[in-house]
Amino acid sequence: MTQEDRVGKQVEKQACSRRDFLKFGAQTSMGLALGGMALSGCAGVPMTQANTTFRSKPLGNKVRIGYVGVGSQGGGHIENLSKITDAEVVAVCDIREERTKWAQDKLVAAGRMKPTAYNKGDYDFLRMCETEDLDLVYNATPWRWHVPICVAAMKNGKHAATEVPAAPDLEGCWKLVETAEKYQKHCVMMENCCYDRTELMIFNMVRQGLFGELLHAECGYLHDLRGYKLSETAYQGMWRVYHSIKRNADLYPTHGLGPVAWWLDINRGNQFDHLVSMSCNSRGLSLYGAEKFGPDSKWAKAKYKLGDVVNTLIRTKNGQTVLVTHDTNLPRPYSRKILLQGTEGIVRKYPEQKIHIEGTSPAHSWEKVKDYYEKYDHPLWKAMQDKSEGAGHGGMDFIEDYRLVECIKEGKPTDMNVYDAAAWSAVTPLSEKSIAKKSGSVDFPDFTRGKWKTTPRLEIMGV
C-alpha cells in the first residue's frame, strides 16, 4: 500500500462522503424523524452530536507544535511562534531540506529548541504525526494538502490548524468536520483577516449595537496576482495557477468572508442558507502571459477557466445578504471590499475607511473611521498592537497565532472552529456549481447539523 493510499484509508473510516450527505439530506426533507441525532450517514461511524463549542483540556506546559510547509507564509508563522512564550515548535516538515534547515536555524537563533526535521518526501508529515509528541499540527501548504494533513493530525491525537482555504471541495469540508467530531480535536482554519484592526473594531461596534439590525455586507479578495500566478520562482510548483486553469469559482473567499461571518454570527445563531454566483469572461491571464512571455508561450495559449471577476451573493437564515467578489487576474489595487450596513449605520474599509452613524454623523455625510478608534478599538488589538508590530500582514498574523496558542493551552474554545472552516471554504465548490448552472441557486450544507441554532455567539476576546 502506498503512503497516499494510507492517507485515503485513514480518511475513509471517519469521513462522510458528499454522496452520503446529499442522500441523508433528501431523506430529511421527506420527513425522516431523527430527533437530536447527527446526520452522519457513514457506515460504521457512531452518530455523534456536532459539538460547536468544543473545549480541550488545559495543558500544563507549552503547546507543542509540528509545522508543515515552511514557505513564505509558513516561514512567517515560524517567526511568530518563536516569539510566543507558550508555543514550542518541536518538529518542522517540508519537502525541501533547505527550508526545514532554515526553520531550525531561525528557532535556534531565537533561543528556542532545535526542532526535528521531516523532509523525506510528500508524505513525511504522516511520520511526524505518528511519532512526535505534539499538541498541534499546523500547516501552510498548497491547498490540496490541507485536508490530508489535518486528518492525519487529528487521527493521531493532535489538534489541527491550516492556512486558508481549509478544503477545496465539499467532500473535504465534511472530512474535516467528521474527523474533528470523532476525535474531539480542534480543527482551525487560520483566517488572519479576522484579526486586522479595522475588522476587529467593526466586530466590537457590532457587539455594541452601533449599526442596529445588520442587513447587508460586502467583501472579497481583489488582488492583482497575475505576476504571482505565472511566476516560476515565487512559489513551489506553480500550483496556484492550475486552479485558475481548471476551475471557474470563487477560489479564495475567506479573507473577506471570515470577518463578515463573525459579524453576522454565522454558525452561532445564524447560518449561510444559499448562494448564486456569476463570472465574467476570462482575459487577464492570457493577456498577461502574451505580454510577459510572448504570444506563442504556453501561458498565453493556456485556456483559463476562471472568470476574471466572480461575484457571489449569499443569503443567510436570518435574512441578511452578503456580496463576495473574487478578482485576481486583472490590474487593480488591493482590496477586500469590506462594507457593512444596518438599520442605523454603514461602514466601509476600501478604498477609504469611512463610516456613517444615524444621529451621530452629519446628515448624508461620511466620517473617518479613525475618529472612532479611541472609543471602539477592539481590546485584543489594543493589547497586542506592540507585540505584533512588524509581523506579517500588519500584525494580524501574529495575533491569530497568539490566540490559537492561548486557546489550546488554556482549554478554551477556539475563535474559529471546524464548522467555520467548512462553511467559509464551501463557497468555492458551491459557487462553482452555481456558475455551471447558469447562476442557479445552491443551498449550503449544514455542517453543524442544526447546532448553529443554540451555539452561543462569539464574544469580544481579550488577552
Distance CA 253, CA 168 (A): 11
> What is the structure's pLDDT at 111?
98
For the ranges 292-301, 370-379, 386-395, 402-411, the lowest mean pLDDT is seen at 386-395
Residue 279 β-bridge partners: 310
Say if CB 163 and CB 140 are below 8 A apart: yes
Distance CA 281, CA 63 (A): 47
Q: How is residue 344 annotated by DSSP?
A: T
Give the Cα-Cα-Cα angle 169, 307, 327 (nearest 5 degrees): 85
Each residue of 36-84: pLDDT tens digit?
223 233 333 333 344 456 778 899 899 999 999 999 999 999 999 999 9
Structural domains of the chain ordered from first start = 3-189 (3.40.50.720), 194-453 (3.30.360.10)
What is the grid cell recorded at 110? Answer: 531565537
pLDDT band of 34, cuts 50, 70, 90: very low
Each residue of 140-169: pLDDT tens digit?
999 999 999 999 999 999 999 999 999 999
Q: How is residue 133 annotated by DSSP?
A: -
Alpha helix (H) residue ranges in 208-363: 226-229, 239-246, 254-263, 284-293, 298-301
Distance CA 29, CA 18 (A): 17
Distance CA 252, CA 165 (A): 7
Residue 310 β-bridge partners: 279, 326
Distance CA 313, CA 322 (A): 6
pLDDT band of 389, cuts 50, 70, 90: confident
Nearest CA to 403 out of 419, 415, 385 is that of: 415
Taking the model in full, what pTM does it have? 0.89
- pLDDT of 23 over the 90 cut: no
Say if CB 228 and CB 137 are below 8 A apart: no
Nearest CA to 458 out of 419, 410, 405 is that of: 419
Residue 160 β-bridge partners: 137, 187
Nearest CA to 446 out of 52, 45, 132, 11 is that of: 52
Distance CA 39, CA 47 (A): 7
| Residues of the chain above pLDDT 90, percent | 83
